[in-house]
Amino acid sequence: MTSGADTRRRHPWLAWRMWRKGRPFWGGLFTTLAGVEISLIPLGPLKVMLLQGVTGILSILMGLLLILMGLSGWFAPNYRGFAGIVAVMCAAAALVMSNLGGFLIGTILGVIGGSMVFAWQPHQPHPVPADEPPPRVSLLKVQPTSPLPPKEPH
Q: Is 48 part of any domain?
A: yes
Q: Is 7 part of any domain?
A: no
Convert the chain into a string of H (helix), E (strand) and C (coil): CCCHHHHHHHCHHHHHHHHHHCCCHHHHHHHHHHHHHHHHHHHCCCCCCCCCCHHHHHHHHHHHHHHHHHHHHHHCHHHHHHHHHHHHHHHHHHHHHCHHHHHCHHHHHHHHHHHHHHHCCCCCCCCCCCCCCCCCCCCCCCCCCCCCCCCCCC
Q: Is 13 part of any domain?
A: no
Q: Is 137 part of any domain?
A: no
Give 68's contacts (C-beta < 8 A, 6+ positions apart): 35
Residues 11-19 have a mean pLDDT of 86
Number of structural domains found in the chain? 1
Q: Which pLDDT score, from 0 to 100, does residue 100 have? A: 80
Q: Which pLDDT score, from 0 to 100, does residue 108 have? A: 95
pLDDT in tens, 36-80: 999 888 777 766 555 566 777 888 899 999 999 999 999 999 999
Q: Is 143 part of any domain?
A: no
pLDDT in tens, 85-143: 999 999 999 988 887 878 899 999 999 999 999 999 987 776 766 666 666 666 665 56
Q: Is 37 part of any domain?
A: yes
Q: Is 148 part of any domain?
A: no
pTM above 0.85, yes or no: no
Q: Which pLDDT score, from 0 to 100, does residue 67 have? A: 97
Give how far Cα 44 sits from Cα of 33, 54, 63, 103, 128, Å. Answer: 16, 16, 14, 13, 56
Q: How far apart are CA 63 and CA 57, in angstroms?
A: 10
> Which range marks the domain in which residue 75 is found?
24-119
Q: Is 51 part of any domain?
A: yes
pLDDT band at 9 (very low <50, low <70, confident <90, very high): low
Q: Which pLDDT score, from 0 to 100, does residue 139 have? A: 62
Q: Which pLDDT score, from 0 to 100, does residue 20 have? A: 87
